Amino acid sequence: MTSLGRTDLDVSPLCVGTSPLGSMPGLYGYAVGEQRAVDTVNAVLDSGTINFIDTSNGYGTDGSSEKRIGLALRGRGGLPRGGVLATKVDPDPGTGDFSGARVRKSLEESLERLGVSKIQLLHLHDPERITFADAMAPGGPVETLAALRAEGLAEHLGVAGGPVGLMQQYLDTGVFEVVLTHNRYTLLDRSATDLFTTAHQNGIGVLNAAPYGGGMLVKGPETQQKYAYGERDDRIAAAAVKMRNACAHAGVPLAAAALQFSLKAPFVDSTVVGISSPARVAETLELARLKIPASLWGELEALVPSPSLWLDPPKGSK
C-alpha cells in the first residue's frame, strides 16, 4: 500500500475504475449486466491486492455504476476494513447544471446509491465543462466541496479531469489534496509528466487513469483506432504498432508494458484501470506481475510520438 499524498488514505498501486460497470455501450462498445458488475466488485474486494475503487455520479444511466457498487457493498455488510472508495460530483444529467447546489445534490445521490454515510475521496469531475471563474465563484462548486469536507461528508477532495493546465489551476487553489487525469501519462503520451511531478513534490496525491489510452494499448490500433476516445493523428497508431512489435520481440504483451509504465512511475500513487468482469481483475493483476526486461523500456522510450501529437502538447513543441 502507498500513502495517497498527504492524506491518511493508504491505497493499492492499482485502483479499479468502474465506468464500464455503469454499462455504457455507446462509449465502450459492449454492455455490462447488473450481476456481472456486482461480481466484478466482489472479485476486486476479494483479490487481497486491490483496496481502491473509483466511481462517479455520472457513470451510466441514473448512476448505475454507483448503484451496482452499492449492491455489492450491501451484500458484504459494507466496505471492508481498509477499503478506499472514491466518487465524483457531476452536473445534472438533464439540465447540465453544475452549481454549488448541484454539487451537494450529486454527493447526496452518491451516498444513497453506495449505501455509505460519507465518502473518503470526493472529486470535482471534469471541471472543463464549466469556466474556472464559475467553479470558484462564491457558493459555487469548489466552495461547496470545501463545505462538504468541513461537514464530514467527504474526508478528502480531489480534482479529476483532462487538460493538465486546468488541473494545475485547481491544485493552485490549495483546496484539493489529490489530482487525477487520464490518458496523459501513457506509453504514447506524456502530457501529465510535469503536473504529476510537481503535485507529488507538493504532497498532492497522484492518480493516473487510463494507462491503456482507451484501449489502443491493449487491443491494438487495428481494433481500437481511437486514442483517449477520439480520433488522433495516424502517427499515434503507428507508434503503438511499433511498440507492440518491440514488446512481442521481448516476449511481453503490450498491455503489460502499458500498465507497468504507470505502476513504476515514482510520482504515481495509484493507477486507475477500468475493469468490467471478474476475469479482467485476475488478468490485470497478472499483467502487473509479469517480468519485463529492463532493456525494453529504452526501446519503448525511443518510440514515443512527438510531443506535438500529445493531448496537451508542451508550449513550443513541434
d(CA 262, CA 269): 9
Q: C-alpha 248: how far from its chain's center?
A: 27
d(CA 182, CA 161): 7
pLDDT-derived band at 226 (thresholds 50, 70, 90) equals: very high
Q: What is the pLDDT of residue 128?
A: 97
Comparing CA positions, the residue from 117, 239, 123, 133 lying closest to residue 186 is: 239
Domain ranges of the chain: 10-309
Question: Phi and psi for 220 in degrees, rounded to 5?
Answer: 90, 155
Contact 203, 6 (CB under 8 A): yes
- At 167-217, the pLDDT tens digits run 999 999 999 999 999 999 999 999 999 999 999 999 999 999 999 999 999
**pTM, two decimal places:** 0.97
Give me the chain's average pLDDT, please.
Answer: 97
Contact 162, 125 (CB under 8 A): no
Check pLDDT > 90 for residue 316.
Answer: no
Query: How many residues are given for the chain?
Result: 318
Sign of the Cα torsion 36, 39, 40, 41 reads: positive
Check pLDDT > 80 for residue 293.
Answer: yes
Q: What is the pLDDT of residue 317?
A: 75
pLDDT-derived band at 28 (thresholds 50, 70, 90) equals: confident
Given CATH 3.20.20.100, say whether it is the number of domain 10-309: yes
Region 279-300: what's the mean pLDDT? Answer: 98
Task: Count Cα neighbours of 88 within 13 Å in the Cβ-side half-sphere.
Answer: 27
pLDDT-derived band at 246 (thresholds 50, 70, 90) equals: very high
Q: What is the pLDDT of residue 26?
A: 83
Cell numbers at 224, concatenated: 481500437
Cell numbers at 184, concatenated: 496523459
Q: What is the pLDDT of residue 150?
A: 98
